Amino acid sequence: MANLNIDSVKERTFDAIVIGSGISGGWAAKELTGNGLKTLVLERGRDVKHIKDYPTTNKMPWEFEHRGQLPSAVMEANPIVGRCYAFGEDSQHFFVKDKEHPYVQQKPFDWIRGYQVGGKSLLWARQTQRWSDFDFEGPARDGYAVDWPIRYKDIAPWYSHVEKFAGIAGNKDGLAELPDGEFLPGFPLNDVEQYFSDHLKTHYKNRHVISARCAHLSKPNQIHVDQGRTQCQNRDLCQRGCPFGGYFSSNASTIPWAEKSGNMMLRPHSVVQSIIYDEQKGKATGVRVIDSNTKEAIEYHAKIIFVNAAALNTNLVLLNSTSSRFPNGLGNDSGVLGKFVAFHNYSANIGAEYDGLKEWTVDGRSPTSGYIPRFRNVYKQETDFLRGYACTFGGYRYQQHKYEGVGASLKEGLVKGDLGPWYVGAQFMGETIPKDTNHVSLDAKLKDDWGVPLLNVSVDYDDNDEKMKKDFIEQLTEMFTSAGFKNIHPSTDHRAPGLDIHEMGGARMGKDPKTSILNEWNQVHACKNVFVTDGACMTSTSCQNPSLTYMAITARAANHAVDELKKGNLS
């Protein structure tokens, strides 16, 4: 019997364990397995195989029972996830429903989740802008949050590494505040977007409209063909899962690549309860898992552990990993675990009309838009708020149909229509400042179906956010007016934080173990064989979409972990 137990432990022992299979977890799996490490990937949700498990991907609109809309009963049962732009009849199966995985909102927070292999990489907006030193140096410049332990030069080679493999479409724009990358051909701006871009170049210093860089194969390279992916078809149905692999997801790219190595074992339906810390060895030795179907408790063991459960769940796992050495959560000697959570502020936009360029319209679809990189407080502090914001920018024209008449005249009015003016719009993407008052914690009483404490979320806006939003409206109104746009109508909403789906922090990187959880290699300061490389590791948020940075940070940390293992520093 003892031998059977030993054999069982051997079967549950790996070189590495990765918690989570989304954008960062997929990259951890790819890099670790590619370096020869036998790697267990744990996913709390179900398995989703590329193509096979995209049930709506090729459906026509009339094949949906409700023509793409969701019944009121579904929307009423899901007031949180129902507010997400991508939640629809064609994609609802990739989202966590509100009642299935509850959490406690000490302050209103819309926590949007996708529990399946691939996580939210099946649902993301696929925007991939690099950070610059202006972003990494932000906390050091203004003293809010702590200084990043890395700079652009440290991460730049890893941006290139992941861009080449993932496939990023973009142009060489030559902007210091938004470094160029390893790009496939960019998607072109349409005429009104190009007009506004040209106008800003002429009339504004350091303000630009570019084609937003995006994780789409505009022209695949051999590495993408080797992954079994092919060119983006501009279908704009990405939230269904792409049968062409035209956009980057863990399901189409990193997970099958890791599987092909022969070094990966994938275990779905695995709710991670905690990380096991060995007091005598002074390191983590494994992970406790609850099978989500059978409720069986299982322990897996490894030399290194990557925590990539998505920002808030990663905080939950670390907070729940207590021991005599770490009574307040794994690595939480500083007491900052779960604190300094931040997000992106998307709560404002502005629209207008343009009467020019009427000889042109748009044809077909594009997987991206125009993008206005941050232009406030870049080279110096010039406003009464800290940091800055970026904006999406887009233009389009509609056919204006006629609905009067009967019979043939009605049909003709419905089929034919005169083109209206150009409509233009910009969406605010503001950086929020990490604060200790924005935090998550474990509920003392409430637990989920697997015995894991529910997460308490206490995150809110502040005065800096309001000042920044006001500036966005003022500056974009001025820029639109200067360009000759008419009927300018700014708007703000009162959405709760979280709907941006860019929550970050809680287990931040830093130079000082007294004020941070992770070092410059994403290792837990006090437990060096545990790495955190998803959104939880972020020291500040900047205003770029963060997923590309998660991927680069993960690849960098994984290769460092392999080097450290070879040196015997993590054994």
The stretch 235-243 carries a mean pLDDT of: 97
Q: Render pLDDT for 254-276 as a digit per residue (tens, 0 to 9).
A: 999 999 999 999 999 999 999 99
pLDDT range class, residue 563, cuts 50, 70, 90? very high
- For residue 562, report the phi and psi dihedrals to the nearest 5 degrees: -60, -45
Closest among 310, 346, 311, 309 to 497, alpha carbons compared: 346
Q: Render pLDDT for 537-546 as a digit per residue (tens, 0 to 9).
A: 999 999 999 9
Q: For residue 299, what is the DSSP state?
A: E
Q: 407 or 243: which carries more pLDDT confidence?
A: 243
Neighbours of 301 (CB within 10 A): 17
Distance of CA 123 to the CA centre of its chain: 9
Q: Where are the beta strands (DSSP E) in 199-347?
A: 210-211, 264-267, 270-278, 283-291, 297-307, 339-342, 344-345
Average pLDDT, the chain: 96
The stretch 129-157 carries a mean pLDDT of: 96
Q: Render pLDDT for 145-156 as a digit per residue (tens, 0 to 9).
A: 999 999 999 999
Cβ-Cβ contacts under 8 Å for 180 (sequence gap 6 or more): 130, 170, 172, 173, 174
Could you tell me which residues are beta bridge partners of residue 348? 492
pLDDT range class, residue 8, cuts 50, 70, 90? confident
Tokens describing residue 183: 């790009």
pLDDT at 517: 98
Q: Render pLDDT for 322-378 as a digit per residue (tens, 0 to 9).
A: 999 999 999 999 999 999 999 999 999 999 999 999 999 998 899 999 999 999 999
SS3 of residue 46 by DSSP:
strand
The stretch 268-291 carries a mean pLDDT of: 97
Query: What does DSSP say about strands 389-401 and 370-372: parallel, antiparallel, or unpaired?
Result: antiparallel
- CA distance linking residue 247 with residue 213, whole number of Å: 12
- For residue 70, report the phi and psi dihedrals to the nearest 5 degrees: -105, 140
pLDDT range class, residue 5, cuts 50, 70, 90? low
SS3 of residue 110 by DSSP:
coil
Structure-token match 């960098």, residue found: 556
The answer to whether 40 touches 302, Cβ cutoff 8 Å, is yes
pLDDT at 1: 35
- CA distance linking residue 21 with residue 43, whole number of Å: 6
SS3 of residue 35 by DSSP:
coil
Structure-token match 């005599």, residue found: 324
pLDDT range class, residue 6, cuts 50, 70, 90? low
- CA distance linking residue 489 with residue 240, whole number of Å: 32
In this prediction the pTM is 0.96
The stretch 179-195 carries a mean pLDDT of: 98
The stretch 109-119 carries a mean pLDDT of: 98
Structure-token match 């909403």, residue found: 493
